[in-house]
């Protein structure tokens, strides 16, 4: 089943659109508070399309993601009861409970790790707000974690250039399915 090659090609086309920066910022913002698709899928092809803009794009992605994280924090702080049913229906309640436990144990580090890792960051932003994590600490942890992730992605893609793009496209199906399997394994590991 060839799923990821077509998606990769489509996102690469979108990444060359005149409003691509806006789309990237919107995706980054939304993913941090409620949307399930990570911005890396658009950041990487945009860096491939214009490598000289890698650091700008990583910075834009980071800024929009942190702002989206603030929106998630506000949702958790002011309206957790309103979104609790959505978290339950989307299957995120176990992750939310786990995020609460992580906050109790690690606080700042929980947000930093969630910002860098493939763990659903939106769960941590909402949990941080519902637990009234101090906003300055939340912003700093988010900026470091998200920034490290997006600048690493941009740097690796920029360093590899067109050759990396060709190799990535040749192996995108395998990589895509490995990410899916890795996500499932991580989810199951975190559940236990």
Structural domain harbouring 168: 4-191
Q: How far apart are CA 34 and CA 152, in angstroms?
A: 23
Asked if pLDDT for residue 183 goes beyond 70, the answer is no
* Cα distance between the two ends of the chain: 31
pTM score, whole prediction: 0.74
Q: Indicate the burial class of 77 (C-beta count within 10 angstroms; 0-12, 13-18, 19 or more).
A: middle
Asked if pLDDT for residue 47 goes beyond 70, the answer is yes
* Mean pLDDT across 79-86: 79
Of the pLDDT bands very low, low, confident and very high (cuts 50, 70, 90), residue 21 is very high
Structural domain total, the chain: 1
The whole-number pLDDT of residue 60 equals 98
């Amino acid at each position: 089943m060839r799923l990821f090659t077509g998606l990769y090609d489509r996102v690469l086309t979108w990444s060359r659109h005149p409003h691509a920066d806006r789309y990237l910022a919107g995706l980054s913002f939304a993913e941090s508070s409620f949307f399930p698709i990570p911005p890396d899928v658009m950041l990487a092809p945009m860096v491939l399309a214009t490598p000289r803009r890698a650091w700008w794009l990583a910075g834009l992605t980071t800024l929009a993601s942190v702002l989206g994280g603030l929106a998630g924090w506000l949702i958790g702080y002011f309206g957790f009861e309103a979104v609790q049913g959505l978290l339950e229906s989307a299957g995120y309640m176990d992750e939310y409970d786990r995020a609460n436990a992580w906050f109790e144990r690690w606080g700042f580090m929980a947000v930093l790790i969630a910002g860098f890792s493939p763990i659903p960051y939106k769960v941590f932003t909402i949990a941080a707000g519902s637990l009234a994590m101090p906003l300055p600490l939340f912003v700093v942890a988010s900026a470091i974690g998200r920034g490290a992730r997006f600048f690493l992605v941009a740097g690796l893609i920029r360093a590899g250039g067109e050759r990396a793009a060709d190799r990535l496209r040749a192996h995108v199906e395998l990589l895509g399915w490995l990410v899916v399997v890795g996500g499932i394994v991580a989810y199951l590991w975190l559940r236990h």
